[in-house]
Amino acid sequence: MTRAVTTPTVGHTHRAPTDHALALAAALRSKLRARQRLFGAWMSIGSAEIASIFAAARGDFLGIDLEHTTIDLATAQAIIRACHEFQRACLPRIFPEHVEQARRLLDAGADGIIVPQVASKEDVERINQVLRYPPQGRRGFGVAAAHWYGRAFDAYIQRANESLSLIVQVETIAGVERIEEIVSHPAVDGVMVGPYDMSGSLGLPGQLRHPRVVEACARVIATCAARSVSCGLHLVYPKLEDVQRELSSGCTFLVLGSDIFNLSQRSLEVDAMVDAVRQED
């Protein structure tokens, strides 16, 4: 019997069950480890439709914020699927202590994870244990979406340890003081600087351009460059000159805006237009 093959919709890429289930993850990790320039989008609203809009645009990965939002695991899985339909890697951000959440997101098909407030090599190793299968780690084996519910189980298990990315966020002065040991851990594929939390850890909340905050962030970026580790940050309202400045400063990847910031900025612009029209009355 000949099995009918469904023609993929425009903008989507059909993947047969025999394809490499970790192709997107492996490609992203390879680029991170080569310090290639990469660009990401950011999601804080639990919507697969918004994820599809981001994933169809230019860029390399999409981050899902599960640290500061109410996005649940089922919604995160739908977002991951939406990204993969458009061949975009997806990296959820989880809190370090949420080990169970990390395991389930990886089984849902995440291409790696982003972990905030990493401040030591020991922190990295704890995360690495969750990310990797034995003998490198202690991730459990189970039939899940990541390997198409068993269709690509063997290939996924064999390649996961070498394909999944780990981006750690260094956003406290404690992390800055131990940045050398953090980037020396072989599991670290990229470091994301967190200026807002950095300012808070220095007792200067919100003072992003304070010399001490700028110096701390610059030290992280310089150390990453010296150790050939990818480094980046999140630009909330990015303009071309901002992107060019941060790339020139040593960043190799940038997260540009987010669903919340994009919508918020547009709503402010609409407010300004409404106010201008009302002033004409």
Active site residues: 68
Note whether 165 and 91 are within 8 A (CB).
yes
Cα–Cα distance between 147 and 243 in angstroms, integer?
Answer: 36
- Report d(CA 204, CA 97) in Å as an integer: 26
Cβ neighbours of residue 198 closer than 8 Å, sequence gap 6 or more: 171, 172, 173, 176, 213, 216, 217
**Contact indicator for 46, 39 with CB cutoff of 8 Å:** no
Give, rounded to a whole angstrom, the gap between the first and last alpha carbons of the chain: 73
Q: Which helix (H) or strand (E) holds 240?
A: helix 240-249
How many C-beta atoms lie closer than 10 Å to residue 241's C-beta? Answer: 8
The residue type found at 21 is A
Q: Omega of the bond prior to 96 within 30 degrees of 0, cis?
A: no
Q: Which of 114, 93, 67, 100 is nearest to 230 (CA)?
A: 114
Report how far residue 264's alpha carbon sits from residue 269's, in angstroms, rounded to the nearest whole number: 9
Q: Which residues contact 224 (CB under 8 A, 6 or more apart)?
A: 179, 183, 191, 230, 231, 250
